[in-house]
Amino acid sequence: MQARSAILGIGHYVPSRVVTNADLAKLMTTSDEWIVQRSGIRERRFIEHSGIGASDLALPAAKMALEHAGLDAKDVDAIIFATLSPDHNFPGSGCFLGHKMGLPGVPALDVRNQCSGFLYGLSVADAWVRAGVYERILLVGAEVHSTGIELADRGRDVAVLFGDGAGAAVIGRATNDAQGIKAIRLHADGSGARDLWLEAPASAYDPRLTHEMLDEGKHFPAMNGKQVFRWATEKMPEVVREVLAEANVDVGAIDLFVPHQANLRINQMVGQKLGIPEEKTVKNIEKYGNTTAATIPLGLSEAWREGRCDRGSNVLFAAFGSGYTWGGAVVTL
């Protein structure tokens, strides 16, 4: 019989430096009131000093996930690293993480699917386990946004939304019949690629980055917020309905909903459309902002440790982000 995959362990890590909305208001024209009303965010974490990359945040999250799974680093057969803020342009952050974990020879794949990165990685890990290619996969989502956003008036629409953090999961064979990844659905639509993107450095330009581009801020993310909002509130419920149908699970049987945390208003609208009560929904955006690929594993890890889910719980994931990319998954822990 084909192996089924499961989440064997989960972990997270956030840097210690808390940056409040009031702190940001010292750097740009914004206010706590504007940020809370529009997004629900009250504070976020930033790395303590420069020199800390996505793989550095991933390392403690990975150790926590391995410990939760009762495994050691040497048990990892493959690494999947989802990030839009890799330590360096290349090689992938998975290579840096594998080296820091002392795993020479272990394959490392980077996934570039932004806020949906963890779910894209989960799909690859699930397929690898089911096909018998690798047995235990370390799947990480980690982001250092704070060094890549424009902390000034020009970048304020994006800068107030994002924070640094990491989450990690160990994906391996299910150990009982109930447990496992029941269904995953992924989507992308590049017609919205420029609605949320970081334009340069770019292989489409020669040279990839000029002083003019730096002056224009093309190395900072740019976003059409209203358009992203519209798409997210439509596509997240749509993909959840698809994945619940594929898993043959009723929405009422979901014990915990872990949506991507981009905007509290988006998640409230998604929850209402689906009929999922707030008490079953993870909400940590007020503490961390949007941590992109880290958000889903970070949310699950915290919820698990708070006792909001346990082995046997039915968990629903949903994400939407740059690309556009979006996805959903149903997992029994």
Ligand X SMILES: CC(C)(COP(=O)(O)OP(=O)(O)OC[C@H]1O[C@@H](n2cnc3c(N)ncnc32)[C@H](O)[C@@H]1OP(=O)(O)O)[C@@H](O)C(=O)NCCC(=O)NCCS
DSSP assignments along 193-241, one per residue: GGGEE---S-TTSSSS--HHHHHHTTTS-EE-HHHHHHHHHHHHHHHHH
Q: Return d(Cα 73, Cα 98) in angstroms, integer.
A: 9
160 binding ligand X? (CB under 6 A): yes
Q: Return d(Cα 146, Cα 300) in angstroms, integer.
A: 23
Q: How far is the CB of 153 from ligand X (least distance, A)?
A: 9
226 binding ligand X? (CB under 6 A): yes
Which position among 12, 68, 145, 260 bears the catalytic label?
260
113 binding ligand X? (CB under 6 A): no
289 binding ligand X? (CB under 6 A): no
Q: How far is the CB of 76 from ligand X (least distance, A)?
A: 29
197 binding ligand X? (CB under 6 A): no
User: Is the CB of 31 or the CB of 175 nearer to ligand X?
Assistant: 31
Q: Return d(Cα 231, Cα 159) in angstroms, integer.
A: 20
Q: Return d(Cα 12, Cα 143) in angstroms, integer.
A: 12
Q: Is the CB of residue 65 less than 8 Å from the CB of residue 11?
A: yes
148 binding ligand X? (CB under 6 A): no
Grouping H, G, I as helix, E, B as strand and the rest as coil, residue 251 is helix
123: Cβ contacts below 8 Å, ≥ 6 apart: 184, 186, 327, 329
39 binding ligand X? (CB under 6 A): yes
Has 248 been annotated as catalytic? no
Considering only residues 61, 184, 200, 232, which one is a binding residue for ligand X as defined by CB under 6 A? 232
Which position among 115, 145, 309, 314 bears the catalytic label?
115
34 binding ligand X? (CB under 6 A): yes
**99 token code pair:** 């080296």
Residues of this chain that interact with ligand X (CB under 6 A) are: 30, 34, 38-39, 115, 156-157, 160-161, 196, 223, 225-226, 228-229, 232, 262-263, 266, 290, 321
The set of catalytic residues is 115, 260, 290
